[in-house]
């Protein structure tokens, strides 16, 4: 009879904490259960906190991004890209608009760029979409850095397959927040950085 191994997988980078082997990075010996780890312990690969780890039971832990929700997002995004192609800009704007409408329900006002981006940042950090978010306003837009993005694996797989629709909810919402506060549309330039992304929003045209 097989012994069920209880392991924990990092949602961001896929690192597996195995109690049998412990964690050599932080000099944690084998035999220590995940729940017994110090509350301040973080993933040795990407640095995310313990609460971003998922319980995995059985010998097979599964490939990164194989969860039903991840597969659904991948399938929907691939389908939208097939249909819309370069017209996908309207798709990303609508993704952002959905989150903007949620924030408006919380009485968030999008009247000024910095406060708008700060409201979006607080919303996504509160809902654990990312480990941390930094932004700087520029003369023609904004520069953003998303760290430990919960959707990193999905975005990376889509980019590897040549799908240019960005599923990053923060990127799309930040773009729409800037649009609402300035009256301009913004071009999104996104590049991978660590287990997150560096994003540039550049002013494109007046609405």
User: pLDDT tens digits, residue range 25-58?
Assistant: 888 888 899 999 998 898 888 888 888 888 886 5
pLDDT at 140: 94
pLDDT at 193 over 90: no
pLDDT at 118: 96
Q: 48: closest CA among 125, 111, 104, 115?
A: 125
Beta strands in 150-207 (DSSP E): 184-193, 196-206
Mean pLDDT of the region 8-19: 87
| pTM of the predicted model as reported, rounded to 2 decimal places | 0.74
Beta strands in 99-176 (DSSP E): 130-138, 141-149
- All domains of the chain in start order, with CATH: 6-57 (2.20.28.10), 68-206 (3.30.1380)
pLDDT at 11 over 70: yes
Calpha distance 75→58 (Å, rounded): 27
Predicted confidence (pLDDT) per residue in 53-95, tens digit: 888 865 444 444 445 666 677 777 777 777 876 667 777 888 8
pLDDT at 9 over 50: yes
The answer to whether the beta carbons of residues 129 and 52 sit under 8 Å apart is no
DSSP state, residue 85: G
Q: CA end-to-end span of the chain, whole Å?
A: 65
Predicted confidence band at 163 (pLDDT cuts at 50, 70, 90)? confident
Beta strands in 58-195 (DSSP E): 130-138, 141-149, 184-193
Q: Residue 196: is it exposed, middle or buried by C-beta count within 10 angstroms (0-12/13-18/19+)?
A: buried
């Amino acid at each position: 009879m097989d012994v069920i191994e209880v392991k924990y997988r990092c949602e961001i980078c896929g690192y597996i904490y195995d109690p049998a082997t412990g964690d050599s990075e932080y000099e944690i010996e084998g035999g220590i259960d995940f729940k017994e780890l110090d509350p301040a312990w973080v993933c040795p690969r990407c640095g995310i906190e313990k609460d971003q780890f998922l319980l995995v039971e059985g010998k097979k832990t599964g490939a990164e991004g194989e969860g039903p929700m991840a597969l659904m997002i991948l399938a929907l995004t691939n389908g939208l890209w097939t249909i819309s192609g370069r017209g996908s800009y309207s798709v990303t704007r609508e993704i952002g608009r959905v989150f903007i409408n949620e924030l408006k329900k919380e009485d968030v006002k999008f009247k000024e760029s910095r406060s708008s981006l700060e409201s979006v940042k607080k919303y996504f950090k509160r809902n654990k979409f990312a480990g941390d978010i930094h932004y700087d306003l520029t003369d023609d837009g904004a520069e953003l850095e998303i760290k430990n993005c919960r959707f990193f694996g999905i975005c990376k797989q889509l980019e590897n397959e040549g799908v240019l629709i960005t599923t990053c909810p923060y990127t799309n919402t930040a773009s729409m927040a800037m649009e609402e506060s300035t009256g301009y549309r913004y071009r999104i330039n996104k590049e991978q950085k660590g287990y997150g992304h560096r994003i540039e929003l550049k002013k494109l045209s007046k609405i």
